[in-house]
Amino acid sequence: MGQRRAALGTVSGPSTKPTLVVLAAGRARRYGGVKPLAPVGPRGEAVIDLVASDALAAGFGSIVLVLGPATGPAIRYHVEHTWPAHVDVRFALQQVPLGTVHAVLSASEHVGDTPYGVGNADDVYGRSPCSLLAAHLMALDPTNALVGFRLADAVVGTAPVTRGICQVGPDGQLRRVDERRQVTAQPDGRFAAADGREPSELSPDARVSMNLWGFTPAFHKTLQAAMAAASDASEDAEVLLPEVVAESLDTSPFTVLPAAGRCIGVTHPDDLALVQGELARQVGQGVRPAALWAPGENV
């Protein structure tokens, strides 16, 4: 889909600040609308506005939005007409929804041969977790990484959700991600998974994946190989990032970066009011700035 300005071309070499690839091509079947444009901010800002603003404030240098043909034009129009001109944003098209691996690879020309981050367009991760990831990627010899949130900080409301529970070794390395379904918060602060598996009770302190990743150039090649090997990939047989990561852990270590603070996502239509209230509380408590982008550069 090209880029917003002619000056924003293909990455040709290493950059001091990493790029964040934001996956915004999802079909949002449960939500029933364009989730990245859901007005969650105190001033009606869209989810994707907060995601990008937080990432840039945290140390990322540019944003790549992976868009789909159905909702992409609306998202691109919103970005081009509301984001400040100084924001380095590029657009990539995932023409067919073959999964999150395919979505990331759609941004290949924009990430070059440097480490980069990947996140969802419907999860507000916050500046602190994004800072953890950006700093990790800017280290001298970074590893692949996954930002791990506390389960209690990654659930909004009482509607059932799916969460990937991380098993982390004593060395801080990811051992596996165990996907648990029908996870709900209990009145006493505990969490229960009604998926028929044990343990049915989950610790609120368990680290979970919210798909905020850091990938090295070597792992980008692993993603390319996985996609090339998936000859039967389709809309009904998607190639997914967590599955490729799990299959690669023996040869591609992942460092789990423990995040503090809430990850606030929009999953169900009823989540919208809850997310708006939570973000307003963060602004009121001084956890989140009232205005997006850099001071004096708001639109």
1, part of any domain: no
* Res. 12: pLDDT tops 50: no
In a domain, 109, yes or no: yes
Among all chains, which residue has been given the structure tokens 């692993």?
222
Number of domains, the chain: 1
How, if at all, do strands 19-24 and 62-67 pair? parallel
Domain assignment of residue 58, yes or no? yes
Question: Does residue 227 form part of some domain?
Answer: yes
Q: What's the confidence (pLDDT) of residue 144?
A: 98
Question: Whole-prediction pTM value?
Answer: 0.91
- The answer to whether residue 43 is domain-embedded is yes
Is residue 116's pLDDT more than 60? yes
Confidence of residue 7 (pLDDT cuts 50, 70, 90): very low
Local confidence band at 32 (pLDDT 50, 70, 90 cut-offs): low
In a domain? residue 180: no
pLDDT at 273 over 70: yes
Would 124 be classed as within a structural domain? yes
CATH code where residue 130 lies:
3.90.550.10
Q: What is the pLDDT of residues 145-189, one digit of tens each?
A: 999 999 999 998 888 899 999 999 999 999 999 999 999 999 888
Beta strand pairing status for 254-258 and 144-150? parallel
Residue 221's domain spans which residues? 19-148+209-284
Tell whether omega for the bond before 199 is within 30 degrees of 0, i.e. cis: yes
Helix (H, G, I), strand (E, B) or coil at 51: helix
Looking at the domain assignment, is residue 292 inside a domain? no
298's CB contacts (< 8 A; 6+ apart) are: 84, 291, 292
CA distances from 160 to 75, 150, 187, 267 (A): 28, 17, 14, 10
